[in-house]
Amino acid sequence: MIASRWHLPLLLSLAIASTPAVAAGSNDTLFNFVKPMAVVSISTQNADLPSATAEATPEGEILRRVNFNPAPQPTLRLAPASGSWDWSQADSMSLRIQNAMGWAITLEVEIEGVGGAPGLHASIALPPGPAQTLLVPLRATAPENFGMRAGVPMPVMLDGQRLLLAAKVTGELNRSQVGAVKIYLNAPKAAQDILVGRFGTYAGGDEWHKAYTGIVDGFGQASRGDWPEKVKSAEQLASAWKAEGEQLKKWQPEPGRDAFGGLLDGPAFESTGFFRTEKRNGRWWLVTPEGHSFWSLGVNAVNADSSQTYVEGREYMFSSLPKEGDPLAAFYGQRDDRSGVGAQQGRAFGNGRWYDFYAANRFRADGGLTGDAAAAAWQERTLQRLGAWGFNTLGDWSDPAFAEVPRMPYSVPLSISGDYATVSTGYDWWGAMPDPFDPRFAMAAERAIAIAARDHREDAWLLGYYADNELAWAGRGDDAQARYALAFGALKLSTDSPAKRAFIKQLKDKYKEHEALAEAWGVPLGAWEDIDAPGYQAPQPDDAHPAIAEDYSAFLRLYADQYFKTLKDSLKWHAPNHLLLGPRFAVSTPEALASCAQYCDVLSFNLYVPLPQQGFDADYVRSLDKPVLITEFHFGSRDRGPFWGGVAEVYNEQQRGEAYQRFLAEAAKQPNIVGAHWFQYLDQPVTGRLLDGENGHIGLVGITDLPFTGFVEAVRKANLQTRKVIDDQARAAAKAPPEPEPNPAPSDDDGNDEEQADSQ
């Protein structure tokens, strides 16, 4: 460990170039690394200032080098030589800074309170290139304050100055008592250098408002970047849209398929008139209604109604919005998305007037079609695209109108809602878990399934029903608190909770007396009523008391069984011919997976990982011997407009295509995986979708309704390669000898089964 501490004013006297100041507002310089202007205490940990002199950057600016060594947390710390700083009149911390490396560095900045008081933290993506002025707000802030998941790319040029505005700051700070500023890297594998100059505070101005001004052009695209598919005029849009139509005619779906996309020369399965699953020679298959093998290559959210973005209250972000009387003003609307789920926490601009750039761009491209004619044209073009690109399934959240056009298999979410009780796991991204022990849940499930099945009961094109979407079966993290979050959450509730009553009954059935439970758990328990109390703090599992984990696990299985059995029983009554496709797990527990395998036809997972087997315990899932459908995956980047790179981010568009190919190739190798569905068809709006402000470049198609050509070509190639691999497996299975019948269980009496049967 290397630590040093020294005081400045320092050792040098240079003729230096002046450091640019922020144009608006007032700058208060506390210290200058090049020519000290105030007394500041500097300390380092596994870092150093290797030279006593400053150096000139390629742009002619004079800055001082700081070296961060390979270590867990190499740190540069700045503090007042005595006492604390009073920053009560400031808005931001300011630092002139430059990345001295040829790649981006993630810099951590902590502004500390005095004597262990709370402080602020920011992670700064410091790009290579010229110097900029870093501004870190002295209050918590985030892109969600502007209504979106990820903020504008940094640095940004404002009033002729290059500024790097900290996008996300967490914590709280007493500005009148600031103890220090700590700058560090998290475990660099090699030495990393930055260059620094003036350090201080900044007050006044409205740099954040300016940074977000005019960030969207009249076509709904990010205004400050460029890429091959970017549209500059309505004429260019219409021309490109027409040219794509000609290309689609050349990419015809391959022959040799039945009406539903099943392989004609694959294994011969029984034809039932509906989709089903079957295992043949060690591999699971989806089977089409006509009895042919089918591997589902799908796309989620294939709809024209998910690209609106709120404009009310942030009109300054849009360089051109249509005025009343303009034909494009037909694409305004009103909505309120403040439902209070975890995905919406901290997001501003979640209601009011919205605008639909995607619909406006289609209006421009297709000659002004509106209403049913526009919907029909969009549907036809979309089905042409998906088929030409090698897809064969419409994934979840797709336009229900596709069900009326029997050309591609589709799926339906059950969307259960009601006033039933819930249990929180603390994750609750889309809300707390339904309490399946509440009779009102069974009623809500029955109602949702009846409605969903009403129009699809005899539809052979329906692949199946999803139980739900990304339920919080566990908490966030890998510890016992997350693993058994449903058990902890249930025991915290009052006995008005049906789930808590079910848990306590399970414990009473096992232990009979409360003293036995107290001994098994190693906790004081004067009576069963002690557990009844609201807010009961259940013990953490430990090695000395294995019964704790065993009992929590038993409850998780009871909970999952009640949930999945409720759905299965109702679906068997209302839609006996269709598959129950599982709940689209995002987080799960072994108990939930085992129960799903028992009651559902398919295990479905939403996976945002480089390879499928990295998203779940592959060995355990294989042991359940059930088909697996990957119901969401994607790879995003930030080089085509939207500011967020998605849940699984790569560096650029080319890497998106490469990651897609690797993911599909690996999925096709797994004998229990029966398909994979990309999320999603369209890019999300630059300023965030209505639901929760997500604004990722994760689509096949942009906001202008033009495909991302390079990515789509990579996707099509990967889809066709994957289909070939799967088809070869199917053809090999068709030629394989029939599987032998299972051997009868060995007898305990040397083959004298008949006598034993007669004697019973």
Q: Looking at the domain assignment, is residue 621 inside a domain?
A: yes
State yes or no: pLDDT of 36 exceeds 80.
Answer: no
pLDDT digits (tens, 9 = 90+) for 192-205: 999 999 999 999 87
385 and 250 assigned to the same domain: yes
- Residues 276 and 400 grouped into a single domain: yes
Query: pLDDT higher for 241 or 525?
Result: 525
Tens digits of residue pLDDT in 448-471 = 999 999 989 999 999 999 999 999
pLDDT tens digits, residue range 310-340? Answer: 999 999 999 999 999 999 999 999 999 998 8
Same domain, 397 and 341: yes
758 or 546, greater pLDDT: 546
Average pLDDT, the chain: 92
Distance, in Å, from the CA atom of 332 to the CA atom of 309, rounded to the nearest integer, reads: 10
CATH number at residue 73: 2.60.120.430
Structurally, how many domains does the chain consist of? Answer: 2
**Beta-sheet pairing, 393-394 with 296-299:** parallel
Confirm whether 455 is domain-assigned: no
Query: In the prediction, which pLDDT does 749 show?
Result: 42
Do 203 and 54 share a domain, yes or no? yes
Residues 271 and 291 sit within 8 Å (Cβ to Cβ): yes
Strands (E), 468-508: none
* Domain CATH number, residue 349: 3.20.20.80
What confidence tens digit (pLDDT) does each residue in 625-659 have?
999 999 999 999 999 999 999 999 999 999 999 99
d(CA 682, CA 707): 9
Same domain, 271 and 311: yes
Position 383, amino acid: L
Q: What is residue 205's predicted lDDT score, i.e. its pLDDT?
A: 75
CB atoms under 10 Å from CB of 759, counted, come to: 7
Task: Flag whether pLDDT at 213 surpasses 60.
Answer: yes
Strand 283-287 to 309-310 pairing: unpaired
Name the nearest CA neighbour of 640 among 544, 732, 570, 706: 706
- Res 39 pLDDT > 60: yes
- With cut-offs at 50, 70 and 90, classify the pLDDT of residue 412: very high
Same domain, 192 and 240: no
| Statement: residue 128 has pLDDT above 70 | yes
Q: What is the pLDDT of residue 741?
A: 55
- The answer to the question of residue 139 being in a domain is yes
Domain endpoint, select from 193, 211, 229:
211
Domain span at residue 273 reads: 213-408+602-740
Is the residue at 674 inside a domain?
yes
Q: For residue 66, is pLDDT > 60?
A: yes
Does the pLDDT value for residue 4 go beyond 50? Answer: no
Task: Report the alpha-carbon distance of residue 111 to residue 172 in Å, rounded.
Answer: 10
| Residue 232 belongs to a domain | yes
693 located within any domain: yes
For residues 200 and 232, membership in a common domain is answered with: no
Instruction: Spell out the residues 6+ positions from residue 705 whose beta carbon is closer than 8 angstroms to its own.
Output: 241, 358, 361, 362, 365
- What predicted TM-score, i.e. pTM, was given to this entire model? 0.92
- Within a domain: 327: yes
Token reading at 530: 């002690």
Residue 466 lies in a domain: no
Is the pLDDT confidence value at 16 over 60? no
Distance CA 701, CA 362 (A): 12
pLDDT one-digit tens code per residue, 703-739: 999 999 999 999 999 999 999 999 999 999 988 887 7
User: What is the structure's pLDDT at 3?
Assistant: 43
- Look at residues 188, 196, 178, 184 and name the one whose alpha carbon lies nearest to residue 83: 178
Give the whole-angstrom CA distance, residue 153 versus residue 227.
15
* Across 8-32, average pLDDT: 53
| Average pLDDT value for residue range 670-694 | 97
* Pair 232, 108 in one domain: no
Q: Are residues 244 and 367 in the same domain?
A: yes
Q: Are residues 292 and 356 in the same domain?
A: yes
Mean pLDDT of the region 270-278: 97
Picking from 190, 211, 232, the residue at the C-terminal end of a domain is 211
% residues pLDDT > 90 (the chain): 84
pLDDT score at 756: 35
Give yes or no: residues 262 and 298 share one domain: yes
DSSP letters for 2-40: -EEEEEES-S-----PPPP--SSSEEEEEEESSS--S-E
Q: Which two tokens stand for residue 252?
A: 């015809």
- 194 with 217, same domain? no
- Quick one: which H or E segment has residue 96? strand 92-99
pLDDT of residue 162: 96
Q: How confident is the model at residue 754 (pLDDT cuts 50, 70, 90)?
A: very low
- The tens digit of pLDDT for each residue in 486-512 reads 999 999 999 999 999 999 999 999 999
Token duo for residue 278: 């079957």
Final residue of a structural domain among 178, 211, 244: 211
Average pLDDT, integer, range 149-160: 94
Q: What is the pLDDT of residue 750?
A: 42
